[in-house]
């Protein structure tokens, strides 16, 4: 089984104090520490476990600048067979649809049985996996927390639904799945593994290699445009009500009356 895992280089929230820049156009990226997106790490681990059971290969792909080679090599050190960087100045400013179009252009030139993405990345939109599946006209499942390969044409997936319930589906291959954290425990990547892949070639594909037009990606192709970043103002602190159940109910009723919530 040939598996493609889409990964992204993002600010490491455990290592950074995130703040908004002066003009409110973005976060302040001056001294940020970056790493692979957490959800993507689970997707790569799941791909490795599938490959080890049924054989095949794993390709990790990222859309970004040359610095994204760092996270590609990390996932190759983790166990992916190869990495591909989709990079072009024209890709900057792409929205979710644009990123999905860039990934689709690569998939169209390859032959994958399964595509995994993280459930979401740093902007929290969770759009790219579903959009990519729609563009490819492939089946799609989101928030997947269990995968079982049935044969070379079908897999069974478990996904998280409302109320913490579990849903099981059989899905035809090829398909796209967005992976939820907790599906597995990503393995540790040591310095020896990183050194082992340091000299491996990572192909870089741009606009012309992918056969894309400048109008389809970047700001020109974006249907969603970010207009502002801001930190919400803090409201009044919560008031904790004490006493017996009857006393709490009475206090709550009085508060609601005073705020106009009930009459």
Domains plus CATH for the chain?
Answer: 2-221 (3.40.50.620)
Residue with the larger pLDDT of the pair 121 and 134? 134
> pLDDT by residue (tens digit) across 225-244?
878 877 777 777 777 888 99
Contact between 68 and 14 (Cβ < 8 Å): no
Confidence at 147, pLDDT banded by 50, 70, 90: very high
pLDDT above 90 (res 14): no
Residue with the larger pLDDT of the pair 183 and 261? 183
β-pairing verdict for 165-172 and 154-161: antiparallel
Q: What is the DSSP letter of 164?
A: G
pLDDT score at 145? 96
Confidence at 34, pLDDT banded by 50, 70, 90: confident
Contact between 94 and 103 (Cβ < 8 Å): no
pLDDT score at 73? 96
In angstroms, rounded to a whole number, what is the distance separating the alpha carbons of residues 257 and 250? 11
pLDDT above 80 (res 31): no
Q: Mean pLDDT of all residues in the chain?
A: 91
Confidence at 23, pLDDT banded by 50, 70, 90: confident
> pLDDT by residue (tens digit) across 41-88?
999 999 999 999 999 999 999 999 999 999 999 999 999 999 999 999
Segment 187-196 shows an average pLDDT of 92
pLDDT score at 222? 92
List, in sequence order, every residue forming a beta bridge with 168; answer none if it has no partner.
158
pLDDT score at 262? 77
Confidence at 249, pLDDT banded by 50, 70, 90: very high
Closest CA to 129 of 107, 160, 147: 107
HSE-CB for 55 with a 13 A CA cutoff: 1
Q: What is the share, in percent, of the chain residues with pLDDT greater than 90? A: 72
Q: What is the share, in percent, of the chain residues with pLDDT greater than 70? A: 99
Cα Rg of the chain (Å, integer)? 22
């Amino acid at each position: 089984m040939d598996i493609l895992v889409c990964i992204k280089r993002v600010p490491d929230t455990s290592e950074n104090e995130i703040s908004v820049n002066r003009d409110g156009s973005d976060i302040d990226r001056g001294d940020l520490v970056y790493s692979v997106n957490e959800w993507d790490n689970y997707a790569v681990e799941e791909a490795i476990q599938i490959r080890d059971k049924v054989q095949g290969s794993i390709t990790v792909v990222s859309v970004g600048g040359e610095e994204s080679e760092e996270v590609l090599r990390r996932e190759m050190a983790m166990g992916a067979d190869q990495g591909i960087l989709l990079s072009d100045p024209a890709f900057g400013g792409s929205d979710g649809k644009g990123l999905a179009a860039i990934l689709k252009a690569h998939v169209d030139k390859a032959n994958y049985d399964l595509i995994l993405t993280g459930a979401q990345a740093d902007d929290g939109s969770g759009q790219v996996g579903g959009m990519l599946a729609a563009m490819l006209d492939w089946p799609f499942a989101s928030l997947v927390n269990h995968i079982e390969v049935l044969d070379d044409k079908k897999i069974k997936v478990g996904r998280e639904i409302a109320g913490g319930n579990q849903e099981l589906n059989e899905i035809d291959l090829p398909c796209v799945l967005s992976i939820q954290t907790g599906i597995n425990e990503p393995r540790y990547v040591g310095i020896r593994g990183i050194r082992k892949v340091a000299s491996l070639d990572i192909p870089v594909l741009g606009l012309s290699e992918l056969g894309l037009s400048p109008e389809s990606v970047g700001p020109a192709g974006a249907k969603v445009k970010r207009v502002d970043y801001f930190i919400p103002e803090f409201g009044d602190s919560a008031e904790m009500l004490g006493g017996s159940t009857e006393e709490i109910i009475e206090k709550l009723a009085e508060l609601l009356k005073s705020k106009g919530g009930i009459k």
